[in-house]
Structure 1
Amino acid sequence: MRAWNHNLAPRLAPALACWLLAACVGEPPRPQALPGAAAATLVPSATPALSTPVPTPSPTPAPPVRIAVIGDYGLSSPPEAAVATQVAGLAPDAVVTTGDNNYPAGGADTIDDNIGQYYHRYIGQYQGAYGPGAAENRFFPVLGNHDWQAPGAQPYLDYFALPGNERYYQVDVGPVRVFALDSMPGEPDGTTADSVQGAWLREGLASSGACWNVVVMHHPPYSSGLHGSSEWMQWPFAAWGADMVLAGHDHSYERLAHDGIPYVVNGLGGGALYDLGPPIAESQVQHDGQYGAMLLEADAHTLRFQFVTVDGAVVDDQTLRGGCGG
């Protein structure tokens, strides 16, 4: 065992007493140098500066895009005028049609009265007689059987400035990509799933980066209405990536479910009303009593669609969830 050096005690006593005194009065002890040791220099520690984190404001989400959908409307009639007034009140960013834009026979002499009179404010490059058009086109029709009654549907093709070959095309409206098809059996690029038009849609849906893909045509793949289902248009839309299918031709409203996505028949834009028949298996909602329009509201995560009559009755109101959010 190492022996205690008694000679150090007298020299340590003052230091010990000083240390004890400092502890009693609440001051921190100061280290004392031992005899023969070099004096220590105390360097105060730097006190870290306190900072208040500045919160990053959350970006304000963009309002949903609004798309009005009308069908079988082009008749220059009081019902069409009522639906057009309803559409204007919806303040849509775009108007989409499900065909039969120009009764009775798609003629050049009737097209402006049937369309431009009511919807010129949405039509880009508008050359008609009813006022100014849109600086950028916001009116996206599809061809119907009455539009095709004019040779080559030429008045329709001359009247509108649409993308692609104008008979079928795609356009983006906010987070929604609209694929407009020509469902007439006389379409030069075909109307079957393995046709040129079918391949165009399949490839377009596969490569689409849009949050929502909506396919629009005139002839309904499935319908309980007067004309019934159009079997040649029963393409695998859901498997290809569509979120929703819209059609017209039957002058009624019907929502059906097929392959997990909604199919909607919307033909109540102004033409004579048709009675619905017994509902087919996929039918979920039916209405044939009053004219009206659809409103689609879409953001990155939800797609809400309603059908509302001209007198304000809500016939259908559904919301799809997912989009770019899952």
Structure 2
Amino acid sequence: MTDLPALPLAYGVPVLRALMRSVPEDFQVDELPAFEASGEGEHLLLDIRKRGANTVAVARQLAQWAGVPQMGVSYAGQKDRHAVTTQRFSVHLPKRVAPDLALLESDEVHVLASTWHNRKLQRGALAGNRFRLVLREVRGERPAIDERLQAIAARGLPNWFGEQRFGRDGGNVPAALAMFAGRRVRKDQRSMFLSAARSALFNRVLAARVEQGNWDGALEGEVWMLDGSRSVFGPEPMSEALAERLARFDIHPSGPLWGAGELRATGAALELEQAALADEQALALRAGLEQAGLKQERRALRLRPALMQHAWLQDDMLELSFALPPGCYATAVLHELGEVSEAPHPQAT
């Protein structure tokens, strides 16, 4: 277990308690591709719907099917196992000869489409994800729940890194601290632990902004991030033009993704970031990330789900649908509603 702090709520008290993932169909995720396939080349792009299957396991299955090393299979991002998800994979087939696609079909895997492309699919090469979630055994006052969802759709919410980033029982952050102290880890673990360390520090800064009520507003010395981009600018004095851009979600306040170099924020924004990351654990995580060679970057503090809708399927069954940019978490939306727990389901054997 880890001592990661509990995340505050931007909208006040919880409005519901519910269960999610009672069945895989209750958590549906569709990857939104970032590009059109070229129709030529030696990389076979496969759009796959998977049910109750791990992304890495499917990639391993594709490598065996194609008779290629695992490094010959790529995907843009990992998707939940206990869910129904669609995502794109690429398989490197230099001779442009693909085995029978029917051999991939199972209760867990279905190939929706296949086409050729001239480049390997890169991690992060997606435009975002579309979600359809069903919450069951919902307890709470419907008017309050409706009002909270309407507020999130209009104002947005804090752009938390979700609990998935921190591993089972939040163990990735202690593992990162052990790695920074000298414990040897595999290359894939190293990347995962570095990401968890960075995410934990970002969430600390965002938590401080939520507690002060300025997670979606401007502080003196604010660094701004363009919506849908990693581009940042500032700090610069607040103006009517910036206020208008902030109001229409063209820009967002940002927080640090830690690494070597100076924090870009100044003034009150800098003071808050330094104060939020001044305890012993945060200092150890900062030092480890700097020694690992990561550089200072920024991430938007605010997230606005697109195409957000909700419907009551039954008195105690609520359906949510929305789309999120890459690197954003559906659990950030659920967090602002209240206590949404995983329904018990059989463990993998």
Global fold match (TM > 0.5): no
User: Per residue, is there more strand in 1 or in 2?
Assistant: 2
Give the TM bin, normalised by the shorter chain. Answer: under 0.3
Q: Give TM-score scaled by structure 1 length.
A: 0.23
Q: Give TM-score scaled by structure 2 length.
A: 0.22
Point out the structure with max Rg over C-alpha. Answer: 1
Kindly indicate whether structure 1 or structure 2 has the higher relative contact order, using CA contacts under 8 Å at least 6 residues apart. 2
User: Per residue, is there more helix in 1 or in 2?
Assistant: 2
